[in-house]
Structure 1
Amino acid sequence: MRIKVNGEYFDFEKPINILELIEFFGVKLRPVGLAVAINEDIVPKSKYQETFVKDGDCVEIIELVGGG
C-alpha cells in the first residue's frame, strides 16, 4: 500500500489506522495542537483508531507549535 504523508510517499505492507500512522512517525498524541486530514478531510481524534488509510490516500499530519 502506497500513501502520501505530508508530501512524501511511503509504502506499508498492511493496512494502517491513523493512530498507528501517528506512532510510526513519532508524533505525540495530545488533546490539542494536532490535526490529521485524509484527502483534505479532517479526521476527528475520536476516530483515529477506527479510520484506516487506503492505497493512494493523501494524509496530512499537522502539529501546532507555540513559541515566543
Structure 2
Amino acid sequence: MEITVNQKNYPVSESCSIEQLFAEVLQIPVQGIAVAINQTIISKTEWPERLLRDGDRLTIIKATQGG
C-alpha cells in the first residue's frame, strides 16, 4: 500500500503503525514531532497502535526553537 507524508509518497506494509513508520521507513527521531493523518492530529500515545491505511495523507510537523 502507499501513503503520503508531507506530499511525498512511500510504500508501506499493510500492518504499519505510525511508530513503525518513523523507525523503519522514515528513520527520523520522534522528539518534538506532531503528526496529523488526513488533517486529524494523532496523539503520540496512539502511535504504536494506529495502523496506517492505503491512501492516508500524513502531515509531520517538527517543533523548532526560535524567537
The answer, yes or no, to whether TM exceeds 0.5 is yes
Over 6 Å off, 4+ runs: none
Correspondence for 1:56? 55
- 1:12-31 alignment, distance < 5 Å: 12-23=12-23, 24-30=25-31
Give, in whole Å, the separation in 2 of the partners of 1:60 and 1:4.
8
For the residues of structure 1 that align with 2:3 and 2:64, how far apart are their CA atoms?
A: 25
TM-score, length of structure 2 as denominator length: 0.85
Counterpart position of 1:3? 3
Equivalent residue number for residue 40 of structure 1: 39
Q: Give, in angstroms, the shift of residue 64 of structure 1.
A: 1.1
- Equivalences, count: 66
Q: CA RMSD in A?
A: 1.5
In structure 2, list runs of 5 or more residues that go unmatched: none
Using the aligned pairs only, state the percent identity: 33
| Structure 1 unaligned spans of 5+ | none
Q: TM-score normalised to the size of structure 1?
A: 0.83
Residue 15 of structure 1 deviates from its aligned partner by 2.1
